[in-house]
Amino acid sequence: MRAWLARAYGGPGVLVAGELPVPRPRAGEVLIRVEASTVSAADRRIRAMDFPRGLGLVGRAVFGFRRPRRPVLGVEATGIVVAVGSAVERFRPGDAVIALCGARMGAHAEYLLLNERAAMVPRPSGMALETAAALAFGGTCARDYLRRGALHPGERMLVIGASGTVGSAVVQLAAAAGARVTGVSSAPNLDLVRSLGAEEVIDYTTKDILATGERFDIVADAVGALDFSRAQAILAEGGRYLAINGSVADMLARPRGSRRCIAGPAAERADDLAALVDLATAGRFRPLIDCILPFEAAVQAHARVDTGRKRGSVVLRLEEQGGTEE
């Protein structure tokens, strides 16, 4: 099978197109023919071994100290189940699915092997491939952080990085839950952020969010612009700082009075993914798509993510090239 391989850490140029054997599902496993995936900020971070402060050693322990332990990146995908191992009950060959691979990765290949208990759900027949491919990573992360942050209707919420994959999902889900959302982005994206449900928008290039004098019940920082200490200036009493891209210091931060910091990896839950599918089908949630590129343009896709200027997800589309034989 075709796959993009990163056998060293670095820029997009470390990616090499290669061939790997098609995996064979064992007991409890599902083999998926990938139709579309994304190149996410998580892929960029792992490829470049560029983690928030204090997490570099942890990143190398998980993904490989000297070189990548898992050379095929890709944390989310949509495709067709082509084979299942024994004892699989939830899926069968021919099922269209949406899957979140998480740290297992592997979606930047023609075939993806996952345990049936992974965060994987059926794909509705009318859902566009690019929507399905981009649904899982940002949406499940947003749902997990909003749940941990205990968002209540009517609360004031600031979303930093509101036009990115995760930030745009936070804006939509928070607004739908009744929050009064202010989105932070650059000027070209302000109208987009408003269209997602933000009542107010801030252009971070012209306005210092720490100097406005405003206070928020929740600050969701999807890009690591602040830390818990600096966020004190804009957190209300009882406020929560969601350090979605947080450092070790954020993870270890103790509450300051009634204010607290929420950090750490987001949970990968099938029920969250199923809820997002329902919301998308009902027209109440849409993952942002920055661009759609062919599988062969993975290096270009990584370069786009590296700019830090993408609006939502960079999608890779795959064309079927044959069977599943090794």
Task: Report the topology of domain 2-135+287-317.
Answer: Quinone Oxidoreductase; Chain A, domain 1 (3.90.180)
pLDDT value at residue 58: 84
Burial annotation 195-230 (CB, 10 A radius, 16+ → b, else e)? ebbbeebbebeeeebeeeeeebbbbbbbbbbbbbee
Q: Under a CB-based contact definition with an 8 Å cutoff, are residues 93 and 84 in contact?
A: yes
307, burial (CB in 10 Å: exposed 0-12, middle 13-18, buried 19+): exposed
pLDDT value at residue 321: 64
Please, what are the averages of pLDDT over each run of 10 residues along the chain (326 residues)? 97 98 98 98 94 84 90 98 97 98 94 97 96 97 98 98 97 98 97 98 94 94 95 97 92 93 95 98 96 98 95 92 49
Domain ranges of the chain: 2-135+287-317, 137-263
CATH assignment, 137-263: 3.40.50.720
pLDDT value at residue 27: 98
320, burial (CB in 10 Å: exposed 0-12, middle 13-18, buried 19+): exposed
pLDDT value at residue 326: 39
